[in-house]
Amino acid sequence: MDMYQRTVGDTIGFSGIGLHTGLPVSVRILPSGEGTGISFVRRDIPGSPVIKAKYKNVVSTSFATTLGVDGVTVSTVEHLLAALYGMGVDNALIEVDGPEVPIMDGSAVPFVEMIEKVGLSRLDSPRRYIVIRRPLKVSENEKYIYLMPPGDADGEDLLSIDYTIDFAHSYLNRQSFTFSLSPGAFKREIVGARTFGFLKDVEMLKKNGLALGGSLKNAVVIGDDDILNEEGLRYTDEFVRHKVLDLIGDLALLGMPLIGRIKAYRSGHALNQSLVTKVLKTPRRWKMLEFVEAESATVPVLSEELVTA
């Protein structure tokens, strides 16, 4: 368990097109000080407004997670936020010159490779974790997410996720994936999984001004009984793994890493955000874990103190 906050070791720059807007966007990820969290800055708008990556700033969860403040938005933040969370980046300033984070290849691989290239810088402040003490649940019709206390007492297992998708489709129906979060496992098992969609929905999305930048270069497209991508799948269960990636990106909006066990069934961005909101609004169900410098060593302290999210 990492005791100290981290930021990126150097500035990261890249560009690409937005999945939904189809617009080109340039991004710079800059190191940021302890306690600042993750923030987006719209450099293309006068005054360079800042949008903090916090659950309170979620303005839409349809087909992507969109953050906004005072009408200024940045969308499709989830894969980049997942990469930062999964690699242990607590603080960073993300400058964008457009309304959407580039989709890249539809996965989090490009982000993770760029983070690895600059490495991480350790900051002086301790990292704070949310440790679940009593179970909670969010659901909508047959979809649900359970969040339970961590399984093992020694805290090795920070966040475990058991995710099931179940589509009424002949090619893609039920897939389950169980995963325990660490930077190594995240890189091996999750980051490569790409965005996916059904061919029958693509036309509807485009008619509604969505998925304008979508192509076989940045999404797996599912036809009647096979995928359209000639290169095939990266994992046989790539679809459910991508949903785990999305969930990790949405959990980043808690503002602190989570320690607990998740069981999710057919969830999506909207239900993921309901979970994040419920956690932060029911502080009786968790405690904050923070490491403090004692005289002889750094020791973990579970705090009753409530935090304002």
Determine if 238 is a binding residue for Zn ion (CB under 5 A): no
Q: Using CB atoms within 10 A of its CB, is residue 8 exposed (0-12), middle (13-18) or buried (19+)?
A: buried
Region label for 141, one of left (φ > 0), alpha (ψ between -120 and 50) or beta (otherwise):
left
Q: Which of 90, 100, 238, 246 binds Zn ion (CB under 5 A)?
A: 246
Neighbours of 22 (CB within 10 A): 17
- Chain residue whose CB lies nearest Zn ion: 246
The CB-of-87 to Zn ion minimum distance in angstroms stands at 17
Nearer to Zn ion by C-beta: 12 or 190?
190
Contact call for residues 94 and 39 (beta carbons, < 8 A): yes
**At closest approach, how far in Å is the CB of 108 from Zn ion?**
9
Measured CA to CA, the distance from residue 163 to residue 147 in angstroms comes to 12
| Minimum gap (Å) between residue 194 Cβ and Zn ion | 8
20 is annotated as an active-site residue: no
User: Which whole-number Å values give the CA distances from 188 to 105, 184, 191, in the listed order?
Assistant: 17, 6, 7
Instruction: Report d(CA 240, CA 31) in Å as an integer.
Output: 32
Which residues are registered as beta bridge partners of 234?
A: none
Q: Which residues, numbered 153-212, are part of the site for Zn ion (CB under 5 A)?
A: 195
Q: Output the DSSP codes for 16-85.
A: EEBTTT--EEEEEEEE--TT--EEEEETTSTT--EEE-SGGGEEE-SSS-EEEETTEEEB--HHHHHHHH
Both tokens assigned to 244: 């785990």
How far apart are CB 200 and Zn ion at their closest, in Å?
A: 19
Catalytic residue among 20, 79, 242, 269: 269
Identify which of residues 132 and 190 has a Cβ nearer to Zn ion in the complex: 190
Q: What is the residue-wise DSSP string for 233-289?
A: -SSTTHHHHHHHHHHHHHHGGGSS-EEEEEEEES--HHHHHHHHHHHHH-GGGEEEE
Count of CB atoms situated within 10 Å of the CB of 271: 21
The residues annotated with a catalytic role in the active site are 269
Rule CB under 5 A: which residues touch Zn ion? Answer: 195, 246
